[in-house]
Copies of this chain bind each other. A is one copy, B any other.
């Protein structure tokens, strides 16, 4: 659905969506790009430009019908198409993500974990089975998963990514603080908690 929307703008859509969904009473109310901009501390022009990529149509003076805007963003982010995701690396962070209940509202079904430690294999984390990495290929195909989260140590990230891609995964979200090389048909995004905190500390207030 991301027809020509720059990735940087696409990344703001969950922010709008979280905000709009947090509004107490949606009903048939309207919301303007100006009101969204104020609430999210963003520029109004930017908000309007971002939302113009979706199918939502604002009316002069009043703005968007709130529930139509929510639906348009959900549609753009494919929230209404169920996608199966798996996670590799069932350590503390992996367990926390497998246990997180915020994926569903984005249409993401976290279905299974993978680890190499024998004592973890066969256990359940929030009703998700932990499989052996040796079964990655087979299990990813069984679940028809296309999304994967990597929470393994940095030194293992590339080889895990290679295995994931071989199994059919095309989108990877990695918490390992290392660059992963992938073919052009695969997209990787990174979350670096320590790096983000370092950037934050370097920003001048």
Q: How far is the CA of A103 from the CA of B40 in the complex (A)?
A: 29
Please name all residues of chain B whose beta carbon is closer than 8 Å to the beta carbon of A17 when the two chains form the complex: 195
Residue A102 contacts which of B99, B106, B149, B177 (CB distance < 8 angstroms)?
Answer: B177
Judged by a CB distance under 8 angstroms, whether A143 is at the interface is: no
Asked whether B177 lies within 8 Å of A18 as measured between CB atoms, the reply is yes
Take A100-B93, A102-B193, A195-B14 as given contacts and tell me if A187 and B205 are in contact as well, using a CB distance cutoff of 8 Å.
yes
**Residues of B close to A13: CB separation below 8 A:** 198-199, 202
Q: Is the CB of A194 within 8 A of B106?
A: yes
Contact residues, A178-205 vs B (CB, 8 A): 178-179, 181, 184-187, 189-205
Contact of A14 among B146, B187, B192 (CB under 8 A): B192
Known: A105-B194, A178-B22. A203 touches B2 (CB 8 A): yes
Copies of this chain, how many? 2
Task: Enumerate chain B residues within 8 angstroms of A102, measured Cβ to Cβ.
Answer: 177, 193-194
Q: Contacts of A193 on B, CB cut-off 8 Å? A: 97, 100, 102, 149, 173, 191
Nearest Cβ in chain B — how far from A153, in angstroms?
10
Chain B residues with CB below 8 A from A146, complex form: 201
Confirm or deny: A171 has a beta carbon within 8 angstroms of a beta carbon on chain B: yes
In A69-98, the 8 Å CB interface with B consists of 76-79, 83, 85, 91-93, 95-97
**Bound Cα distance from A168 to B76, whole angstroms:** 40
In the complex, what's the smallest C-beta–C-beta distance from A170 to chain B, in angstroms?
6
B201 touches A83 (CB 8 A): yes
Given contacts A96-B96, A100-B93, A204-B2, contact A189 B179 (CB under 8 A): no
Cβ B196 vs Cβ A18 within 8 A: no
Provide a sorted-by-A list of 8 A–B residue pairs whose CB atoms are within 8 angstroms: A14-B199, A19-B179, A91-B96, A92-B99, A93-B97, A106-B201, A147-B201, A171-B201
